Amino acid sequence: MTVTLLVLGSGTSQGVPAIGCRCDTCRSSDPRDNRLRPSVLLSVDGINILIDTSSDFRQQMLRYGVTRIDAVLYTHHHFDHIGGFDDLRQYNFLQKQAMQLYGLEETLEEIRLTFRYAFGGARQSGGGLPSAHMHPVLGGETFTAGGIPVMPIPVMHGVLPILGYRIGDIAYLTDLNAIPADSYPLLENLDVLVLDALRHRAHPTHYSLEEAVEAARRIGARRTLFTHIAHNIHHERDSALLPDEMEFLYDGMMITSMQHSP
C-alpha cells in the first residue's frame, strides 16, 4: 500500500502569521513560515481521506485543488480542527452523497452541538446544510474509511483523551502532550510520524519541541515531521536544532510512504 500525505496546514490554532504580530516568523518571507490551521490529506489508491476540517478548510481545498473527499477522520473537537465543517456541503453537492465522518463519540457529539443547525436545529433548511453520517470509533480498534484500514491511536491532549490516526506506515498525532503506554505498540515500524511540537516552552496540552523530540526518539519512526507549529518557531533557524531524521512540516509538503509492515 502506498500512502501519500499532503500537508494542508501545519500551524497552531491562530495560524501563522498571527494577526497583528511583528515577530521574525510572522514577518518572514519564507513560505514555510506561513502556516494554515492543522489538517492533512491522506491519499491511498485514489481514495482521499481528510484528517480534520480546519478553520482554513475552504482555502486549503481551493489551494490544493481537492475535488473529492471520501471520508473525514476527526482527532478532536477544538475549533481549529472542526471549523471548516460547514464547507463540507460543497462535497455533498459534488459527490451527491452525505460525507462520512469518523471520530470518538465525544468528538462527534461536540460537532453536533457546535453545528446544531446541520443536525435538525435549523428553523428552515433551504440555506444549504452540510450532510454527514457519523461513525463513532474506538481507540486501538481498526476500522475502514473509504475501504481503507485505519488505526485510531489514543493520545492525551491535557486531560482530554483524543485520537491520532495511522494508515499504513504513516501516523498523524496532533494536539497531544502524552502518549499512553498502550498506544506505543500501535506506533511500531512507522515509516513516517507526524507529531505535535507547538513551541520551545512547555505547554499544558501540547508537546514542546524538546518533549516532541524525546517522544519521537522513543517511537523511532524512520522519519518524523513536526506540526501544529506556533510563531515562536522559525522554520529555517530552528531546523538547525533538530536531529537528522526529524524536520518541521510546512504547508504544501507532500510525503509518500510505502508500507513495509504487515
Distance from C-alpha of 77 to C-alpha of 112, rounded to nearest angstrom: 10
Using CB atoms within 10 A of its CB, is residue 159 exposed (0-12), middle (13-18) or buried (19+)?
Answer: exposed
CB 222 to Zn ion: min, Å: 26
CB 177 to Zn ion: min, Å: 10
Establish if 26 lies at the interface with Zn ion (CB under 5 A): yes
Name residues contacting Zn ion, limited to 57-86 (CB under 5 A): 78, 80
Distance from C-alpha of 178 to C-alpha of 184, rounded to nearest angstrom: 11
Q: How many CB atoms lie within 10 A of CB 261?
A: 9
Distance from C-alpha of 121 to C-alpha of 215, rounded to nearest angstrom: 43
Short-list 38, 75, 54, 102, CA closest to 156: 75
Residues 212-251, mask of contacts with Zn ion (x by CB under 5 A): -------------------x--------------------
Q: How many CB atoms lie within 10 A of CB 167?
A: 24
CB 233 to Zn ion: min, Å: 10
Residues 166-205, mask of contacts with Zn ion (x by CB under 5 A): ---------x------------------------------
CB 25 to Zn ion: min, Å: 5
CB 228 to Zn ion: min, Å: 6
Establish if 23 lies at the interface with Zn ion (CB under 5 A): yes
Q: How far apart are the first and last CA of the chain?
A: 10
Region near Zn ion per CB under 5 A, out of 19-27, 64-72, 178-186, 247-255: 19-27
Q: 163 forms bridges with which residues in the sheet?
A: 154
Establish if 37 lies at the interface with Zn ion (CB under 5 A): no
Residues that bind Zn ion (CB under 5 A): 13, 18, 21, 23, 26, 78, 80, 175, 231
